[in-house]
Amino acid sequence: MSKGKDKLPGACGVGVLHFVNGFLLTIGLITVIYGICVYFGAFKTLNTPKLATLVPQVLVILLILFGAMITIFAGIGLFGTVCMRKATINLKSYNEQQDTGSGKKKHDAHCCATCTITLYIILTFLAVIFCVVLGYLAVVLSLGISTAISRTITDVAVDPLVNEWAKSVDTWVTTNQNTTDWVELANFGKCCGWTTVANETIADGPYNGKCCVANATATECTLQDSTADYGASIICNTFFKDTLGQNLVPVYITLFVFAFLSLTCFVSAIVVRSAVSKILGKKVKTKPQPEKRPSEVTSIDNNI
């Protein structure tokens, strides 16, 4: 029998699952480590604008949980693929031996392998839906499109996080408005002052950034009137809002990429799971014994 015929089905799916899940496992671990570093303030001492310090704790925790979910997701995929592949190899060997012997065959792979790969198929299907929905929401928010679905999702999931972030930033700016940290941040954003949730303007004194002057120039600061050469700078809330809006583009691109990877894993996992069915459906062909001709039977009887 040739090597091509001996090759197990589902080899391509196994390769895809190993590569994609290995990649996702690496991304998940990096995300978890980065989130933990931000949570414990590992970047506070860096000589950069303190953007990371403005992220509320709840969003950092969500980032850590997101990385942990990716890690677990990829781990289940790798474990299920390895177990299912090993079970397929053992099943093929066992059934070939039984076909040539007693004729009894196993009806499926071990429960550990089948349950794990089935769980992974369900998780990949849910991941596709999850990433597509969030990617759609990021697109409509980035483009300013308002639909009934986007408004519902925004009211339920986005607004609470935005309010939590705004309160966290208000507290940070109030505490640090007379420190170099806020000055660096205001200069980095080419803006002046901050409007709190209670509609109070803070951190708008001359000390709080080079753009907090009446004759701010357009070359050094972002002005409220983009056509003017000098005048009042934009409030720093506007800078952060614009920054978040610009960052939604890579966010929804990333979500759609994850949706594609999840769909690829979903199809590949089904291929790997179906390999067992192909193995069970195959019969080992044994060489048939030639029938004896009547003359041979007569000759044997006469000898007896």
- pLDDT tens readout for residues 166-193: 787 788 888 888 888 788 888 888 888 8
Confidence of residue 227 (pLDDT cuts 50, 70, 90): confident
Confidence of residue 26 (pLDDT cuts 50, 70, 90): very high
**Domain annotation covers residue 145:** yes
Which are the contacts of 158, defined by CB distance < 8 A and separation ≥ 6? 137, 141
Question: For position 111, what pLDDT does the model report?
Answer: 66
* Nearest-angstrom CA–CA distance, 188 and 191: 8
Angle at 69 between CA 25 and CA 247, to 5 degrees: 85
- What does the block give as tokens for 234? 């934009």
Domains identified in the chain, total number: 1
**284-290: long-range contacts at Cβ-Cβ below 8 A with a sequence spacing of 24 or more?**
284/95, 284/96, 284/99, 284/100, 286/99, 286/100
- pLDDT tens readout for residues 256-276: 999 999 999 999 989 888 876
Query: Domain of 124?
Result: 11-281
N-terminal to C-terminal alpha carbon distance within the chain = 41
**Domain annotation covers residue 298:** no
- pLDDT tens readout for residues 126-164: 999 999 988 888 887 777 666 666 677 667 766 676 677
Residue type, 258: F
Question: For position 108, what pLDDT does the model report?
Answer: 47
What is the number of other CB atoms lying within 10 angstroms of the CB of residue 24? Answer: 21
- What does the block give as tokens for 59? 């969003």
- pLDDT tens readout for residues 51-109: 555 566 667 788 899 899 999 999 999 998 888 888 777 766 665 555 554 445 454 45
**Domain annotation covers residue 79:** yes
Cβ burial 101-112 (10 Å sphere, 16+ → b, else e): eeeebeeebeee
Residue type, 198: A
**Domain annotation covers residue 175:** yes
**Domain annotation covers residue 31:** yes
Q: What share of the chain is helix, strand, coil (3-state, %, to 5)?
A: 70, 5, 30
**Domain annotation covers residue 184:** yes
- What does the block give as tokens for 192? 């002046």
What is the number of other CB atoms lying within 10 angstroms of the CB of residue 235? Answer: 19
**Domain annotation covers residue 268:** yes
Q: Is 303 exposed, middle or buried (0-12, 13-18, 19+ CB in 10 A)?
A: exposed
**Domain annotation covers residue 263:** yes
Question: For position 236, what pLDDT does the model report?
Answer: 87
Confidence of residue 7 (pLDDT cuts 50, 70, 90): low
Chain-centroid distance, C-alpha 272:
22
